[in-house]
Amino acid sequence: METTETTSLEDSLRRAAIDRSVKGPVLFLFANAALWLLAATVLGLVSSVKLYAPEFLDSDWTWFLNYARVQPAHMNALIYGWAMQAGLGTMIWLMARRTGQELKGASTVIIATIFWNIAVTLGLLSILFHGSTSMQWLEFPKYLWPIFTISFLMIATRLVGMFARAHKEGEGFMITSWYILGACFWFPWIYLTANLFLHCFGSSLNGASAAGINAWYVNTLILLFFVPVGLGACYYYLPKITGQPIYSSQLASLGFWGLAFLGGWTGIQKYMGGPLPAWMPAIGGAVMILLLVPAGIVALNFHISTEGRHGLIETSPTLRFVFVGSFCYLALSAVGALLGTFWTGSLLQFTYAEYGFHILAIYGFFSMTMFGAIYYIVPRLSGCEWLSARLIRSHFWFSVYGTAALVVCMLLGGLAQGASINAPGNWNLPFVGSIINARGYLIGRTVAWVFILWSNAWFFIHLVLMVLGLGRRSVAPTLLHHEESHAPATA
């Protein structure tokens, strides 16, 4: 096992300099992201109650709190408010560290972040009070997409520049950088395509085509932005914390290019049996099955790489979150394949199961991985350690219980809902049956969001204290177990 560097004074000072250069933008991104996470969780809680008790919070002055407005607000806050910003912060730190470059022009990034957050605020207010575009995950008003695109590009160009400066001719293997770089290219491409086709060329498109492009956007955002950024973080933190190298670079490469070649074909299987040409959802479903291959490869690689060091999950917060996140990648691939084909997905089509899949991807996989990254990165930027191991532990467990309950309830509830709508005996019955069959699972969904709200509220407070520099002044990291362990003190 060769190492490229030892922890010499020079190297650690260099790393400290890199950390210092990204401190402002990354902490700003993380703080904003955590605030939107809290907002998204509250909105998710409200929308989950509205599904079985529409009279909840239903007065004249809360007229905008109906499910049709709160649900898109919840998803958009989760995605554009929390997930993308947490992702961008992590991307910046990871790319800076992996390329050994300091971030130049931190103020540009901060300006981009400010505009990003203004756009998210305007967009959410618009969804709630004016109404949405009803295009899934593109419900923000159509004048906002240029702001998001430009802000993203302002940050992404910096990352690409860092990569270009650092890696000249075929220099070694850098899977994390590839994933981050991929995300830098894929997101603008996907986002521009969807917004240009739906908002600019929209008036001349065939309606069904437009709906297909929307469904493609939803899936490719998950597979070609959230998955790469999450996996990039996993590939960095697992060897970093366990001290063991990634088992096989060939497997990692296969996993990456498998995702790259397959990811763009998915999405339209959401409308299988629908008005689009049959080959589109068929290809989408077939590719979802094929995507089990890169997922399995990545899981295998992670498993073997960390063999013998699984005990570190006891102490390291980052490793705990990243471990759960990486397991959820396999789970989300499996659920995606389940939902994508006529063989298993026809009853689950248009049910809560799709929401469960989305939450598994954005919360179970991506958010947990990002939490792990944040727990690692923030002490290095703020110069103080996390205040309380108990808060971290409760954040972890309430998030895990909440997400697991949410995903399981939504998958089972979706099955109950779909089975009821499609039961031959129910052909002439009103919709009350499917509502009653799924009600228990919807209540489970609310309970899950309560758990998640509890964990995220404390996370937000904890993070804000750290960002303000009010953490523990210590050289020892905040680990989850205070007993002496033989493992080196890593966090």
Partner 1 sequence: MTSLRKFVIGIGISFGLPWLLLIVVPAISAQKLTTLSYDKERDGMEGAYPGKGIYRQGQLIYAKEGCTQCHTQMIRPGFAGILDPWKKGWGSDQAETPAQPIRPSTQRDYMFEPYAYLGVQRNGPDLTNAGYRLADKSRLEIHEHLYSPQAVNKWSIMPGFRHLYKVQPIQAAGSPKALKLPAAFAPEKGYEVVPTAEAEELVNYLLSLKKDAPIPGEVVADTAAKK
Partner 2 sequence: MNQPQNFDNTDLDRLHAAVKRENPDVVAGREPTPLWVIVGMMIMTILGGGYAGAYVGGFDSEKSNPFIERPIDPRGAGIVTGPQLDAFQLAMKKGSTVFNNCQGCHQPTGLGQPGAIPPLAGSEWVLGGTERIARIAMHGLAGPVSVKGASYNNVMMPPVMSDDEIANVLTYVRNSWGNQAPMVTKQMVAKVRAEVKDHVGPWSPTDLEKYKEMNCPGEIPAGPGATAAPVAAPDPATKK
Please give the residues from 243 up to 272 whose contact with partner 2 meets the rule CB under 8 A.
243-252, 254, 272
**Under rule CB under 8 A, residue 107 binds partner 2:** no
Using the rule CB under 8 A, give the single segment among 74-82, 162-170, 180-188, 473-481 that binds partner 2. 473-481
Structure token pair of residue 30: 């993380």
Residues 408 and 318: their CA atoms lie apart, in Å, by 25
Burial of 275-294, coded b for 16+ CB within 10 Å and e otherwise, reads: ebeeebbbebbbbbbebeeb
Interface pick for partner 2 out of 297, 319, 347, 463 (rule CB under 8 A): 297
Q: Is 66 in the site for partner 2 (CB under 8 A)?
A: no
Residue 423 phi, psi (nearest 5):
-65, 130
Total residues belonging to the chain? 491
Query: Taking the complex as a whole, how short is the minimal distance between the CB of residue 162 and partner 1, in angstroms?
Result: 10
DSSP state of 452: H
Q: Is 103 in the site for partner 2 (CB under 8 A)?
A: no
The one-letter amino acid at 160: V
Torsion region of 389: left, alpha or beta (phi above 0 gives left; psi -120 to 50 gives alpha): alpha
Q: Answer yes or no whether residue 169 interacts with partner 1 by CB under 8 A.
A: yes
Question: What is the per-residue DSSP string for 123-162?
Answer: HHHIIIII----STT--S-TTSHHHHHHHHHHHHHHHHHH
Does residue 13 touch partner 2 according to CB under 8 A?
Answer: yes
- Indicate which single residue of 207, 473, 486, 488 sits in contact with partner 1 (rule: CB under 8 A): 207
Dist CA 475 CA 382 (whole Å): 13
Q: Per CB under 8 A, which region of 35-43, 138-146, 193-201, 283-291 contacts partner 2?
A: 283-291
Helix (H, G, I), strand (E, B) or coil at 384: coil
Nearer to partner 2, 228 or 285 (CB): 285
- Touching partner 1, residues 208-227 (CB under 8 A): 208-214, 216, 224
Q: How far is the CB of 227 from partner 1 (least distance, A)?
A: 14
Q: Give residue 208's region: left, alpha or beta (phi > 0; psi -120 to 50).
A: alpha
Q: State in angstroms the smallest separation of the CB of 145 from partner 1.
A: 15
Asked whether 34 and 82 are in contact (CB, 8 A), the reply is yes
Instruction: Give the count of beta carbons closer than 10 Å to the beta carbon of residue 109.
Output: 25
Tell me which of partner 2, partner 1, none is bound by residue 354, counting a contact when its beta carbon lies within the kind-specific cut-off of 5 to 8 angstroms.
Answer: partner 1
Residue 161 and residue 153 in contact, taking contact as beta carbons nearer than 8 Å: no
Considering beta carbons, is residue 119 or 297 the nearer one to partner 2?
Answer: 297
- Residue 201 Cβ vs partner 2, minimum distance, rounded to whole Å: 19
285 touches, from partner 2, partner 1, none (C-beta below 5 to 8 Å by class): partner 2
Among the residue ranges 12-20, 44-52, 85-93, 317-325, the one whose residues contact partner 2 (CB under 8 A):
12-20
Interatomic CA distance for residues 338 and 288, integer angstroms: 8
Among 59, 169, 170, 425, binds partner 2 (CB under 8 A): 425
At a CB cut-off of 8 Å and minimum separation 6, what does 429 contact? none
Using CB under 8 A as the binding rule, the residues of this chain from 140 to 159 that contact partner 1 are: none
Nearer to partner 2, 124 or 287 (CB): 287
- Chain residues 440-459 in contact with partner 2, contact rule CB under 8 A: none
Per-residue binding letters, 20-39, with partner 2 (x by CB under 8 A): x-------------------
CA distance 434 to 320: 38
What is the footprint of partner 1 within residues 283-312 (CB under 8 A)? 283
Task: Compute CA 7 distance to the chain's CA centroid, rounded to the nearest angstrom.
Answer: 32
- Looking at the Cβ atoms of 216 and 236, the one nearer to partner 1 is 216
Asked whether position 94 contacts partner 1 by CB under 8 A, the answer is no
* Helix residue ranges, H only, 77-105: 84-99
Minimum separation from the CB atom of position 318 to partner 2 (A): 11
Interaction with partner 2 in 334-373: which residues (CB under 8 A)? 341-343
Find which of partner 1, partner 2, none residue 170 binds, CB within 5 to 8 Å per kind: partner 1
Cα dist. 455→217, 282, 326, 364, 393 in Å? 30, 40, 20, 14, 9
Which lies closer to partner 2 via its Cβ, residue 252 or residue 373?
252
Residue 14 engages partner 1 in binding (rule: CB under 8 A):
no
Q: CB of 91 within 8 A of CB of 184?
A: yes
- Choosing from 100, 105, 274, 296, the residue that interacts with partner 1 (CB under 8 A) is 274
207 lies in the binding site for partner 2 (CB under 8 A): no
Size of the residue set binding partner 1 (CB under 8 A): 95
Query: What is the nearest approach in angstroms of partner 2 to the Cβ of residue 396?
Result: 21
The one-letter code for the residue type at 389 is A
Write down the least CB distance from residue 486 to partner 2, Å: 15
